[in-house]
Amino acid sequence: MTKKFSKKFRRSTPPIPINIREDAPLCLREAIVQIVYSLGYKPSFLRKIVCQVLKRLPDENNWSEHPNIYAEVNKLMKECEWVYIYDIIESLASEIHTQDNIDAFYNEVNDYFEDHGIGWKLHDGQIEFRGDPSFESVINDVADTLENKELQTAQTEIKEAIKDLSRRPSPDITGAIQHSVACLECVAREITGDKNSTLGKLIKDHPNILPKPLDKVALGIWGYSSEKGRHLKEGQNPDYAEAQLIVELSATLSKYLANKISLSD
């Protein structure tokens, strides 16, 4: 698909701050419908997927593409609970088969998310948590680094952290914290050769694996995860922003430590 004028020539502007996660505003619902039609699909194609997700039977009285099925789709898309819109997007990603259309669908959906401050992204057929550009850069970098260093367990842990942040309708905040810190712990164990100690003990026993005062940052992350991610107290549950911060810090330190590991070690 030819790159649009607005993408080629738009002035450089700061990224739109993320302000939507637990919602699917009307503009997004309408955009998904328009994206599907722009790829050449008919209302009946979209109705089939929407009805499957919502577990609704198509209206047997609606047999013409326009205006009947078209209107039926619009009504279903406008009235369903917000979480199902993202389920519909995932289902569309699995039902669109030609590579050109797949690429176009991903690009259009993700561009819309970015342009409208929606904190999700479509990746490998799944709707995943999307942070600000610095967060996305850190997560992408650590994933590549852990893969290159063959640290599969650590790589799995950071992926699980993102999955927990991506859960709908409510993210698993404590799970995201635990998995991200487990990623850092895995890398620290690898670099120290101590396969059993906790992150806190690893940093205390091997303070030189991180430059000061980053050793204290790592200890702070461990202390926070022990307090908030493991031993929850009534009324003291961590929030989205805190979890995102811990995931980003853990990923940054994991990348630093992983880069010190030689594959021959």
Task: State residue 265's pLDDT score.
Answer: 46
Mark whether 191 and 232 lie in a shared domain. yes
Q: Which of 102, 122, 142 is the last residue of a domain?
A: 122
Residue 2: pLDDT above 90?
Answer: no
Mark whether 64 and 156 lie in a shared domain. no
Q: What is the DSSP letter of 225?
A: I
Bond preceding residue 169 cis, omega within 30 of 0: yes
Number of domains in the chain: 2
Give domain status of residue 149, yes or no.
Answer: yes
Q: Which of 101, 122, 143 is the last residue of a domain?
A: 122
Angstrom CA distances, 26 to 22, 30, 164, 181, stand at 13, 6, 26, 37
Task: State residue 230's pLDDT score.
Answer: 58
Mean pLDDT calculated for residue range 57-83: 98
Give domain status of residue 1, yes or no.
Answer: no
Print the domain residue range for 170. 133-258
Residue 31: pLDDT above 70?
Answer: yes
Mean pLDDT calculated for residue range 183-206: 96
Mean pLDDT calculated for residue range 141-165: 96
Return the higher-pLDDT residue of 187 and 234.
187
174-198: burial string, b at 16+ Cβ within 10 Å, e else: bbbbbbbbbbbbbbbbbbbeeeebe
The pLDDT-based confidence of 67 (bands split at 50, 70, 90) is very high
Please tell me whether residue 20 adopts helix, strand or coil conformation. strand
Give domain status of residue 46, yes or no.
Answer: yes
Cα 32 from Cα 84, distance rounded (Å): 12
Mark whether 109 and 141 lie in a shared domain. no
Residue 5: pLDDT above 90?
Answer: no
Highest mean pLDDT among 6-15, 38-47, 169-178: 38-47
Range in 4-13, 48-57, 145-154 the model is least confident about: 4-13
Give domain status of residue 218, yes or no.
Answer: yes
Task: State residue 6's pLDDT score.
Answer: 67
Average per-residue pLDDT in the chain?
92
Alpha-carbon torsion (5, 8, 9, 14), positive or negative: positive
Mark whether 118 and 138 lie in a shared domain. no
Counting residues of the chain whose pLDDT is more than 90, the rounded percentage is 85
